[in-house]
Amino acid sequence: MRSLVAGNWKMNGFKAESLELASDLAGRARSGAVCDVLVCPPSTMLSDVGAVISGSGIMLGGQDCHALESGAHTGDVSPVMLADLGCSHAIVGHSERRANHGESDAVVTEKAAAAHKAGLTAIICLGENAAERVEGRAKEIVTLQLHGSLPEGASAANTVIAYEPVWAIGTGNTATPQDVTEIHDHLRGELIRAFGDDGNAVRLLYGGSVNAGNASELLAVDNVNGALVGGASLKPDDFWAIVESGRPD
Ligand code: 13P
């Protein structure tokens, strides 16, 4: 399956540096990208970054979205607004949102459903924390999160799953290819259970301290269909090295 390498810029990037990063990446993409590339800048920069990458083949995504189309929700961004700005994707259920904003699986399901309704592909994030891994509960946790966060109508065409173990995010403690194989093979089985054959076509991304040095071994794992990259997505050389580790088909 063709890889998707997605950069989650998180709450980083003032105007000048965001535009510089976007135009650097767009220049590289115009000479051809090995796989699909997505950038998810902060919502303040979506419009400007969208203009810079337009025509380069790089796709634009939001880092979160509200479950409703519009209304009295101060500070929130709706999936329809994201689509209106040219986004094709929205990340939902990132562990930082689950932890900092108390987002439950039920909330993530509503957000994913709203993203679908707006015509966006939902990137649903899940992953166990350090204590759950030590207790040997990683598979149990991701299974609950997966089935708890998939809305009705989810399919390979509108949904991507990102396995991001919390203990690997921003820590430099990347999961080993063995850890990733075990969880991704398990998630693939669960996706087939949920969707039948279509479960084979759902992209499964790995995220958590992916960098230029470890990307090729992680992206070579059978059921890894791309990466969701935080810190390294802010450095064009590093991010592009990860893109170049992706598979064309
Ligand atoms: P890092 O790549 O900085 O560990 O972040 C991963 C992540 O949370 C991407 O969504």
pLDDT of residue 124: 98
pLDDT of residue 39: 98
Phi, psi values for residue 124, rounded to 5° = -90, 120
Q: Is 66 a catalytic residue?
A: no
pLDDT of residue 233: 98
Ligand 1 binding pocket, CB closer than 6 Å = 8, 94, 164, 169-170, 207-210, 228-232
CA distance 115 to 30: 28
Residue 108's Cβ-side half-sphere holds a number of Cα atoms within 13 Å equal to 30
- Counted residue by residue, the chain has a size of 249
Low-confidence stretches of the chain (pLDDT < 70) are: none
Q: Is 244 a catalytic residue?
A: no
Single-letter code of the amino acid located at 207: G
pTM of this prediction exceeds 0.85: yes
pLDDT of residue 71: 98
What are the tens digits of pLDDT across the range 159-173?
999 999 999 999 999
pLDDT of residue 174: 92
Q: Whose CA is nearest to atom 9 of ligand 1?
A: 230
What distance in angstroms lies between residue 93's CA and the mean position of ligand 1's atoms? 13
Q: Which numbered atom of ligand 1 lies nearest the CA of 231?
A: 3
Rg of the chain in Å (alpha carbons): 17
What distance in angstroms lies between residue 24's CA and the mean position of ligand 1's atoms? 21
pLDDT of residue 155: 97
pLDDT of residue 145: 98
